[in-house]
Structure 1
Amino acid sequence: MAYDVARIRSEFPSLESGWAQFDGPGGTQTPRAVGDAVASVLTGPLSNRGTIGVSEERAEAAVHGFRLAMADLVNGHPRGIVHGRSATQLTYDFSRHLSRAWGPGDELVVTRLDHDSNVRPWVQAAEHVGATVRWVDFDPETGELATEAVAAVLSERTRLVAVTAASNLIGTMPDVAAIAAAVHDAGALLYVDGVHYTAHELPDVAGLGADFFTCSPYKFLGPHCGVLVARPELLETIAPDKLLPATNAVPERFEFGTLPYELLAGVTAAVDVLSGLSEAAAPSGEADAADGTHAAHSRRDRLVASYTALHEHEEGLRARLEEGLADLPGVTLWSRASRRTPTLLATFTGHAASDITKALAAGKVLAPSGNFYALEASRRLGLGDDGGLRVGLAPYTDESDVDRLLEGLAAALT
Structure 2
Amino acid sequence: MTLDITAIRTRFPALKSGIAFFDGPGGTQTPTPVIEAVAEALAAPLSNRGAVTQGERNADAIVGDARRAMGDLLGVPAEGVVFGRSATQLTYDLARTLARGWGPGDEVVVTRLDHDANIRPWVQAAESAGATVRWADFDPATGEIEPEDIAAVTGDRTRLIALTAASNLLGTRPDTAAVARLAHDRGAHLHLDGVHFAAHALTDLEALGADTFTCSPYKFLGPHLGVLAARPELLHTLHPDKLLPATDRVPERFEHGTLPYELLAGTTAAVDFLAGLAGPGEGGRRARLAASYTALEEREDSLRRRIEEELAAHAAVRVHSRAARRTPTLLVTFDGRDAADAYRFLATRGVAAPAGSFYALEASRHLGLGDGGGLRVGLAPYTGEEDVDRLLDGVRAFLNGKG
TM-score, normalised relative to structure 2: 0.98
Partners of 1:413 and 1:269 lie apart in 2 by 41
Structure 1: unaligned runs, 5 residues or longer: 284-296
* Per-residue deviation, residues 208-264 of structure 1 (Å, max 9, x unmatched): 110000000000000000000011111111111111110000000000111110000
Amino acid at match of 1:404: R
Q: Cα distance, 1:53 vs. partner?
A: 2.4
Any idea what SS the aligned residue of 1:389 has? strand
The answer to whether the aligner puts 1:350 opposite 2:336 as a matched pair is yes
SS of structure 2 residue aligned to 1:321: helix
Q: Which residue of 2 aligns with 1:290?
A: none
Q: Deviation digits for residues 378-409 of structure 1, max 9, x if unmatched? A: 00000000000000000000110001000001
- 1:376 equivalenced with 2:375 (yes/no): no
Bigger mean CA offset, 229-238 vs 18-27 = 229-238
How far residue 2 of structure 1 moved from its aligned partner, in angstroms, is: 2.3
Q: Structure 1 residue 363 and structure 2 residue 333: aligned?
A: no
Task: Determine whether 1:190 maps to 2:190.
Answer: yes
Question: Matched residues in 2 for 1:56 and 1:197: separation?
Answer: 34
SS in 2 for 1:178: helix
1:400 equivalent to 2:386? Answer yes
* Equivalent position of 2:31 in the other structure: 31
Q: Distance in 2 between matches of 1:410 and 1:208?
A: 39
Q: Which residue matches 1:62?
A: 62
Equivalent in the alignment of 1:387: 373
Q: How does 1:171-250 map to 2 (within 5 A)?
A: 171-250=171-250
Q: Which residue of 2 aligns with 1:21?
A: 21
Contact 2:312 2:319 in 1 (8 A): no
Q: Deviations over 1:46-86 (max 9, x none)?
A: 01111112211110010000000000001101111000100
SS of 1:390's partner is: strand
Q: What's the secondary structure of 2:101's corresponding residue?
A: coil
Query: How far off its partner does 1:271 sit?
Result: 0.2
Between the aligned partners of 2:177 and 2:399, the Cα distance in structure 1 is 41
CA deviations on 1:148-202 (whole Å, 9 max, x unpaired) are 1111222110100000000000000000011001100011000000000001010
Aligned length: 400
Q: Does structure 1 retain, via aligned residues, the 8 Å contact 2:107–2:131?
A: yes
- Amino acid corresponding to residue 82 of structure 1 in structure 2: V
Unpaired runs of at least 5, structure 2: none
Q: How far apart in 2 are the matches of 1:257 and 1:172?
A: 36
Deviating runs (4+, > 2 A) in structure 1? Answer: 326-329
Given that 1:329 and 1:413 are in contact with CA atoms closer than 8 Å, whether structure 2 keeps it comes out as: no
Distance, in Å, in 1 between the alignment partners of 2:129 and 2:148 is 28
Q: Which residue of 1 aligns with 2:261?
A: 261
Q: Corresponding residue for 1:303? A: 289
- Quote how far apart the aligned CAs of 1:329 are: 3.7
> Once the 2 structures are TM-superposed, how far is the Cα of residue 328 of structure 1 from its aligned partner?
2.6
Q: Which secondary structure does the structure 2 equivalent of 1:100 belong to?
A: helix
Match of 2:314 in 1: 328
CA distance in 2, matches of 1:193, 1:310: 21
Q: Which amino acid aligns with 1:181?
A: R
For residues 293-341 of structure 1, give each alpha carbon's deviation from its aligned partner in whole angstroms, at most 9, with x where no partner exists.
Answer: xxxx000000000000001110111111112213334000000000000
Asked whether the equivalents of residues 195 and 215 of structure 2 are also in contact (C-alpha less than 8 Å), the reply is: yes
- Is 1:314–1:394's contact at 8 Å kept on the other side of the alignment? yes
1:2 aligns with 2:27: no
Q: Distance in 1 between matches of 2:315 and 2:31?
A: 37
In 2: Cα distance, 1:365 partner to 1:240 partner? 44
Counterpart position of 1:282: 281
Q: Give, as a single letter, the amino acid of the residue that structure 2 aligns with 1:247.
A: T
C-alpha separation between the residues in 2 aligned to 1:183 and 1:271?
Answer: 31
Note if contact 1:105-1:131 (Cα within 8 Å) is conserved in structure 2.
yes
Tell me if structure 1 keeps the 8 A contact 2:300–2:328.
yes
| Aligned-residue identity in percent | 65
1:158 is matched with which residue?
A: 158
Partners of 2:309 and 2:122 lie apart in 1 by: 39
| Cα distance in 1 between the residues matched to 2:149 and 2:308 | 29
TM-score (normalised: structure 1): 0.96
Q: Quick check: 2:20–2:387 contact (8 Å CA) kept in 1? A: yes
